[in-house]
Amino acid sequence: MPTTEFAPLVHIYDTTLRDGSQGEGVAFSVEDKLKIARRLDAFGISYIEGGWPGSNPKDIEFFKRARDIEFTHAKLAAFGSTRRAKSAPEDDATLRQLLEADTKVITIFGKSWLLHVTHVLRVTPEQNLEMIRDSVAWLKANGREVIYDAEHFFDGYKADPAYALMALEAAHAGGADWIALCDTNGGAMPWEVERIVREVRERVHTPIGIHAHNDSELGVANSVAAVQAGAAQVQGTINGIGERTGNANLTSIIPILHLKMGKTCLPENRISDLREVAHTVDEIANMVPNERQPFVGRNAFAHKAGVHVDAMMKNEVSYEHIEPGQVGNVRRILLSELSGGATLEHKAAGWGIKLEKGAPETRSLLARLAELEHDGYVFEEAEASFELIVRRALGRVRRLFDLVGFRVIVERRNGSAVTEGTVKLIVNGQQVLTVSEGDGPVDALDGAMRQALVPFYPELAGIHLTDYKVRVVDGQAGTAAKVRVLVESADGEDSWSTIGISENLVNASWNALIDSVEYGLLRKEWRESAT
């Protein structure tokens, strides 16, 4: 049981480990589920739904191992269904497995839409009501907190309000602690949800929750509408993962409740961990984070248009609905052909360079930026290359080496391709010729370049390539199209990205590599001189 007293106005019920794992491409191991459960508990989530113990061995193992976790905030819930039509509760395998999971909370779903009662379960309406009431009552008699999920409730209510309410009243009669109204097909509209939740609260006196799916991209809106109408529990998943188009996204719902509506749902100061929690779940799920996701996405507080940036520098509220740090995010000012003098002035100031918005060198740099972007350069993801452009234009980059030439030979030996790169450089007045083999032309050239430079710049040994991406700039040109190469490098303390453009892949890669090396070797001296 939780050891920290905290009374939220709205209880967050996280079903990432169960409903979220039903999304395509999501497959959590037992270890994954335990890691996520611990992180959600530390975050301050009220309920964590661990899975369905009767559905697979993995969930049985999870609940077994979860008994050794002492949760600080969260209550762990096991999920299942009501008893079968021909089974007494005490003889029903599903209910028995739910008890054996040994959680303090059990969530069961049942039918509230007559279409499902008669066409899916194929029982009478009266039998369905008995199944709901008996199942809840038996679990309560065994000392569990019981949450009843009214599956397909909004569809059922719109088809037959009287019967849908009778299903809820059966759960209430059984002693349910919570009743969650489910928009299982994700087709309800926010105004329908708000109206129906209000009507339900007038008839049913058990606390109400909302479980929305995102098929109409209204999972968040419907959850907020339900809270506005009096729901005190919101079910959803981190990053909105889940079956079909996903579940209601808690990484949007939580800040809306907490920051916009004043509905406390996390312990004090926990909401600033939101972005880190979202990225932790993505990483464990082996999913690429959605950069455009509200609140926690990399682009959530990114500003590109010159007019926007100019206004932001005068007043940050002008183009941001919250302060990014409230949810653990950061503000980003992007460089592009849309940038104005204010953007360039802001970015240069961060590099320790003073530029004035209307100065000739600023106008010249903006013109150069627009020209390069027209040629296919994108500096939003390669700011290190643009910093080099700025410093070179201002005469603030000392030459580390000069390229005399390079050559790449690809040879096929015994069914495998072998690549050899030769690089000739002038370093400190000395001509250096080196040769290296690699897995491909870029790897071979990188190896040869490092052989030539490390004796002069030993710190280069600590700089490593961490990512390499190639994009075709104009696919209509076929094999003669320009390619854009993005290289990400790191030295254990920081990381940076550089870019190269050319019709020749090797040449584009070389340009990106050279920028990466020069930036990595010079950036510390630039920062030190700025301070």
178-187 pLDDT per residue, tens? 999 999 999 9
Residue 394 lies in a domain: no
Query: 417-431 pLDDT, tens per residue?
Result: 889 999 999 999 999
Residue percentage of the chain with pLDDT more than 70: 93
Could you tell me if 130 and 235 lie in one domain? Answer: yes
β-pairing, 105-111 vs 302-303, is unpaired
Could you tell me if 45 and 113 lie in one domain? Answer: yes
Pair of tokens at residue 481: 């199209």
Could you tell me if 48 and 96 lie in one domain? Answer: yes
State the average pLDDT for the chain.
Answer: 89
Give CA–CA dist 274/116, Å, rounded: 38
Could you tell me if 262 and 325 lie in one domain? Answer: no
Count structural domains, the chain: 3
Please report, in angstroms and rounded to a whole number, the separation of the first and last CA atoms in the chain. Answer: 51
Q: Which among 384, 515, 388 is positioned nearest to 446, based on CA atoms?
A: 515
Residue 527 has pLDDT above 80, yes or no: no
Give CA–CA dist 283/223, Å, rounded: 26
Could you tell me if 322 and 223 lie in one domain? Answer: no
Could you tell me if 338 and 432 lie in one domain? Answer: no
Could you tell me if 325 and 355 lie in one domain? Answer: yes
Residue 293 lies in a domain: no
Query: How many CB atoms are located within 10 Å of the residue 92 CB?
Result: 22
Lowest mean pLDDT among 41-55, 119-133, 359-373, 398-412: 359-373
Stretch (H or E) spanning 406: strand 402-413
Tell me what the mean pLDDT of segment 377-395 comes to. 83
* pLDDT for the residue numbered 481: 74
Query: 199-219 pLDDT, tens per residue?
Result: 999 999 999 999 999 999 999
Residue 315 has pLDDT above 70, yes or no: no
Give CA–CA dist 213/497, Å, rounded: 38
User: Residue 464 sits in which domain range?
Assistant: 402-530
* pLDDT for the residue numbered 313: 67
Residue 297 lies in a domain: no
Residue 476 has pLDDT above 60, yes or no: no
pTM: 0.73
Residue 480 has pLDDT above 70, yes or no: no
Query: How many CB atoms are located within 10 Å of the residue 162 CB?
Result: 7
Residue 389 lies in a domain: no
Residue 393 lies in a domain: no
Last residue of a domain, one of 337, 360, 383: 360
Helix (H, G, I), strand (E, B) or coil at 437: strand
CATH of residue 227's domain is: 3.20.20.70
Could you tell me if 441 and 470 lie in one domain? Answer: yes
Give me the half-sphere count of Cα atoms (radius 13 Å) on the Cβ side of residue 294.
13
* pLDDT for the residue numbered 244: 95
Give CA–CA dist 450/427, Å, rounded: 12
Pair of tokens at residue 77: 């819930």
Could you tell me if 313 and 449 lie in one domain? Answer: no
Last residue of a domain, one of 260, 285, 310: 285
CATH of residue 506's domain is: 3.30.160.270
Residue 245 lies in a domain: yes
Could you tell me if 259 and 129 lie in one domain? Answer: yes
Q: Which among 431, 446, 436 is positioned nearest to 514, based on CA atoms?
A: 446
Residue 479 has pLDDT above 60, yes or no: no
Runs of H (alpha helix) within 93-230? 93-100, 114-116, 125-141, 153-159, 161-174, 190-203, 219-228
Residue 263 lies in a domain: yes
Question: Look-up: residue for tokens 């054996």?
Answer: 100
Lowest mean pLDDT among 72-81, 367-376, 476-485, 492-501: 476-485
Q: Which among 336, 345, 333 is positioned nearest to 370, based on CA atoms?
A: 336
Could you tell me if 279 and 307 lie in one domain? Answer: no
Lowest mean pLDDT among 82-91, 230-239, 421-430, 470-479: 470-479
Residue 58 has pLDDT above 60, yes or no: yes
Pair of tokens at residue 155: 């569809």
Q: Can you name the residues that pair with 77 across neighbouring β-strands?
A: 49, 105
* pLDDT for the residue numbered 355: 79
Q: Which of 246-250, 387-391, 469-473 has the highest mean pLDDT?
A: 246-250
* pLDDT for the residue numbered 396: 87
Residue 351 has pLDDT above 80, yes or no: no
Query: 61-104 pLDDT, tens per residue?
Result: 999 999 999 999 999 999 999 999 888 999 999 999 999 999 99
Residue 75 lies in a domain: yes
* pLDDT for the residue numbered 257: 97
Residue 526 has pLDDT above 70, yes or no: yes
Residue percentage of the chain with pLDDT more than 90: 62
25 burial type by CB count under 10 A (0-12 exposed, 13-18 middle, 19+ buried):
exposed
Residue 392 has pLDDT above 90, yes or no: no
Give CA–CA dist 469/489, Å, rounded: 12
- Residues with Cβ within 8 Å of 273's Cβ and at least 6 positions away in sequence, in order, are 43, 328
Could you tell me if 264 and 336 lie in one domain? Answer: no
Give CA–CA dist 484/502, Å, rounded: 7
Backbone angles phi, psi at 131, to 5 degrees: -60, -40
Give CA–CA dist 230/208, Å, rounded: 8
* pLDDT for the residue numbered 482: 85
Tell me what the mean pLDDT of segment 25-48 comes to. 94
